[in-house]
């Protein structure tokens, strides 16, 4: 199939590993999937400390489940990416650990305080749901298929984040103030979640023409604002004055994009932000710590033998 045929035929779940697809399509789909998979893994690293730090057993269990879900999402997406024949899962994981793999802006920033957790679990996962729901109609069938399970679980994450936000915002004055402060810190990053506006986004046109993406960055950001502005206010959060948000008067909102720090966004995107290295290094250490398991499984695959006594120790 050539690229013109791909554009003509593109539709929801149209292409699978059975199709003979041009390299350009397979590369674009790999880029999207790898970015998404890396983001799931890096998101889990922000959640993990709260398995210990959360204030009750129920919350600890919820953080434990969410962390496992995110890692699972990453693994499913690496498999969906691998089926495009451009890069293996091992190559993608190695690139993530050595700093070449790219991932979502929000996961480059440290999350240290409990009051910050709903900023990810409610707002970032809410934003992710917006994008991921549209990816159920992606033209790469393994991607769309993975989204069925992922969206279901993301829905649970948003509920978990909303429950923490509700609890904090109906708690003590101190809790409310700390949550508001965390919100002000995270709000601009959350608005940048969807990436640059469409005319600055280099990969957008092609991805849309071949059906990998069905909605533009701006459409998704606006849809997110329309839903989440009222929710933030419902829980008593005050929307900061900067970046300015235009109220269109009909229940729809738009952010004044020039008020957002795009220079910081692009530094983050290139893994060059001051926090990026710390997050990537924690991933690299984890990758290194389980290298022996990978080596053992590789040995098993090539010899067909079970684990050697030493490796099993």
Closer CB to Fe ion, 38 or 269, in the complex: 38
Residue 228 near residue 126 (C-beta atoms within 8 A)? yes
In the complex, least distance from residue 135 CB atom to Fe ion, rounded to whole angstroms: 12
Count of beta carbons in the 10 Å neighbourhood of residue 87: 19
- 48-70 b/e (C-beta count within 10 Å ≥ 16 → b): bbbbeebeeeebeebbbbbbebb
Please state, in angstroms and rounded to a whole number, the distance separating the CA atoms of residues 140 and 136.
10
Long-range contacts of 129-135 (CB under 8 A, 24+ apart): 129/154, 129/155, 129/158, 130/220, 130/223, 130/224, 130/227, 131/194, 131/215, 131/220, 134/213, 134/214, 134/215, 134/220, 135/213, 135/214
In the complex, least distance from residue 85 CB atom to Fe ion, rounded to whole angstroms: 25
In the complex, least distance from residue 185 CB atom to Fe ion, rounded to whole angstroms: 20
In the complex, least distance from residue 44 CB atom to Fe ion, rounded to whole angstroms: 8
Residue 147 near residue 73 (C-beta atoms within 8 A)? no
In the complex, least distance from residue 305 CB atom to Fe ion, rounded to whole angstroms: 36
Closer CB to Fe ion, 70 or 162, in the complex: 70
* Helix spans in 99-172 (H): 117-118, 125-135, 141-169
In the complex, least distance from residue 107 CB atom to Fe ion, rounded to whole angstroms: 11
Closer CB to Fe ion, 70 or 141, in the complex: 70
Closer CB to Fe ion, 157 or 283, in the complex: 157
Closer CB to Fe ion, 40 or 82, in the complex: 40
In the complex, least distance from residue 116 CB atom to Fe ion, rounded to whole angstroms: 15
Q: Rule CB under 5 A: which residues touch Fe ion?
A: 40, 70, 73, 125, 154, 157
Closer CB to Fe ion, 84 or 128, in the complex: 128
In the complex, least distance from residue 134 CB atom to Fe ion, rounded to whole angstroms: 15
156: phi then psi, degrees, rounded to nearest 5: -70, -40
Q: Give, for 24, the enclosing helix (H) or strand (E).
A: helix 23-47
In sequence order, which residues have a C-beta less than 8 Å from that of residue 14 and are 6 or more positions away? 139, 141, 211
Closer CB to Fe ion, 116 or 218, in the complex: 116
- 3-class DSSP assignment, residue 247: strand
Closer CB to Fe ion, 59 or 157, in the complex: 157
Cα 99 versus chain centre, distance: 17
Count of beta carbons in the 10 Å neighbourhood of residue 296: 16
Q: Answer positive or negative: Cα dihedral of 109, 111, 112, 116.
A: positive
């Amino acid at each position: 199939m050539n690229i013109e045929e791909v554009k003509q035929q593109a539709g929801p779940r149209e292409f699978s590993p059975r199709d003979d697809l041009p390299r350009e399509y397979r590369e674009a789909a790999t880029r999207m999937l790898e970015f998404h998979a890396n983001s799931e893994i890096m998101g889990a690293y922000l959640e993990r400390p709260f398995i210990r730090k959360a204030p009750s057993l129920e919350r600890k269990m919820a953080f434990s489940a969410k962390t496992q879900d995110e890692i699972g999402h990453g693994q499913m997406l690496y498999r969906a990416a691998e089926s495009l024949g451009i890069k293996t899962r091992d190559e993608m994981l190695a690139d993530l650990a050595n700093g070449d793999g790219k991932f979502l802006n929000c996961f480059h920033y440290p999350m240290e305080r409990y009051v910050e957790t709903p900023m990810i679990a409610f707002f970032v996962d809410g934003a992710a749901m917006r994008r991921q729901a549209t990816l159920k109609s992606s033209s790469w069938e393994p991607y769309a298929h993975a989204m069925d399970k992922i969206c279901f679980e993301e829905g649970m994450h948003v509920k978990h984040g909303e429950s923490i936000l509700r609890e904090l915002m109906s708690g003590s004055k101190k809790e409310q103030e700390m949550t508001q402060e965390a919100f002000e810190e995270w709000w601009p990053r959350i608005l940048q979640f969807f990436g640059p506006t469409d005319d600055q986004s280099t990969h957008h046109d092609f991805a849309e023409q071949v059906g990998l993406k069905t909605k533009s960055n701006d459409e998704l950001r606006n849809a997110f604002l329309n839903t989440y502005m009222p929710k933030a206010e419902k829980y008593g959060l005050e929307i900061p004055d900067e970046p300015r948000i235009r109220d269109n008067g009909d229940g729809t909102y738009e952010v004044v994009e020039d008020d957002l720090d795009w220079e910081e966004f692009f530094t983050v995107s290139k893994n060059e932000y001051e926090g990026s290295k710390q997050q990537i290094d924690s991933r690299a250490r984890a990758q290194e710590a389980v290298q022996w398991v990978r080596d053992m499984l590789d040995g098993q695959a090539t010899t067909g033998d079970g684990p050697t006594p030493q490796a099993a120790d």
